[in-house]
Structure 1
Amino acid sequence: MHFLALLASVVRLTRAGDCLVSGMLVSISTSLDMMQSVAIGIAAAKASVEVDSNVPSQFSLPTITGDVMIVYSTAKLLQHQSKL
């Protein structure tokens, strides 16, 4: 799969990876599929780099839904021929 990188107004990069993984794990644990979970993780990471506190104080799914939909709707399946 290929997922779109979202444009962000970067303030601080610390903890972006943590937010990416956390968003994915929470999504998977609530029975969302892998594509939905990755889209949520990417949007969570974008939200985290745009604030100085690492995690937005008003962080919730409704605040990142627009970004989630952009990432999810532009995801592409890449097929590679096996070299085995």
Structure 2
Amino acid sequence: MTGALSVLFFENGLPDLPIILVEPHRNRQGVWRIKFCYADRKPLSMSSIQASALAGNLHQISEIQLADGINGAVRSAGRYCTM
């Protein structure tokens, strides 16, 4: 992974590991969050606001595929909130 990507992950509380899935997830309090899944580690989640900001920063360093996946999960979480 690039140094900039490692820094962004660190700043957002994510490990410097490949992410295998990004999806919306409702926590026990009923709040929709964005879940990051890894092959050999428990998933981690963050607020949609934080995830959206992370996606913007990922676009700036040309991590387009990951940024688009996060943005898709954020949009889905937003739709689920209205149901």
Q: Same fold (TM over 0.5)?
A: no
Higher relative contact order (CA 8 A, sep 6+): 1
Q: Structure 1 length normalisation: TM-score?
A: 0.29
Q: Structure 2 length normalisation: TM-score?
A: 0.29
**Bigger proportion of residues as helix:** 1
Q: Which has the larger radius of gyration?
A: 1
**Bigger proportion of residues as strand:** 2
